[in-house]
Amino acid sequence: MGENDANITFFKDGLRLDGRRADELRPLKIEVGILARADGSCYIEMGGNKVIAAVYGPREVHPRHLQEVTRAIVRYRYNMASFSVEERKRPGPDRRSYELSKVSREALEPVILTSYFPRSVIDVFVEVLQADAGTRTAGINAASVALADAGIPMKSMISSCAAGKVGGQLVLDPMKEEDNYGEADMPIAMTPDGRITLLQMDGHMTREELKTALDMAMGGCRQVYEVQRKALIDKYNQMEAEIIPDQEQPQEAEVL
């Protein structure tokens, strides 16, 4: 962020390096229920990001001293695979992954009805397989879908995306080059009715730019929500079709 000594031209004929308009999201693809052993799971592609989320629980808390008598605790582990980035990442947790796990958990916790499950834990694992900036937002989107897939009662879904500033212009959903060499990056997460549960900013923007960037990011979250919703509906429609197959045609009598 802010290391624009690379002198990158971020726009060509009014379009971004990957051909997007300033207010356009990267292609978004969401699949629900991809892991057989998790209670809920999701695979997401947000541009070049490829991320899996797995949810387990509500289940017994280990170690037991962590349990809360009035509610379930939520644990969120964000992990970046060594092979997910250009320069191999050292395996295991680091300062960044602790921070991202914490802010991502805090982005989701307000909508989870934890009081329904005292003394238990809901575990969310997010594995980044390929990173291209915005992995925390992709992880939160996948985790929200995986929580719904696990049947965890929630007040609403959470959708997330970032807005940034590059070459003096505001852009939605920055990709790697824009994130690395741009002037600002602002990831947010919110409920479909516009309640913000995550707001971070790296870099500098004026007050006016901040307002516009926030509107832009909120618009992005609304688009993400539609894709999350459709992915969940598609999964349950498919399940219904499997359970109640179309009226079978009467079988022809067997000729002996």
Nearest distance, CB of residue 115 and ligand UDP, angstroms: 30
DSSP 86: S
- Residue from 135, 141, 144, 228 touching ligand UDP (CB under 6 A): that is 135
Helix (H, G, I), strand (E, B) or coil at 170: strand
Angle at 224 between CA 219 and CA 225, to 5 degrees: 95
93: preceding bond cis by omega (within 30 degrees): no
Examine residue 40 and tell whether it contacts ligand UDP (CB under 6 A).
no
Site for ligand UDP in 176-235 (CB under 6 A): 176, 179
AA identity, residue 36? A
Which residue carries 């982005």 as its tokens? 107
Toward ligand UDP, which CB reaches closer, 114 or 160? Answer: 160
Which residue carries 């498919």 as its tokens? 238
Binding segment (CB under 6 A) for ligand UDP, from list 29-37, 66-74, 130-138, 148-156: 130-138
Examine residue 89 and tell whether it contacts ligand UDP (CB under 6 A).
yes
* Tokens encoding 16: 């971004």
Examine residue 136 and tell whether it contacts ligand UDP (CB under 6 A).
yes
Examine residue 133 and tell whether it contacts ligand UDP (CB under 6 A).
yes
Examine residue 86 and tell whether it contacts ligand UDP (CB under 6 A).
yes
For residues 67 and 63, give the distance between their C-alpha atoms in angstroms, rounded to a whole number: 8
Nearest distance, CB of residue 131 and ligand UDP, angstroms: 4
- Asked whether 58 and 117 are in contact (CB, 8 A), the reply is yes
Examine residue 85 and tell whether it contacts ligand UDP (CB under 6 A).
yes
- Interface residues with ligand UDP (CB under 6 A) are 85-86, 89, 96, 131-136, 176, 179
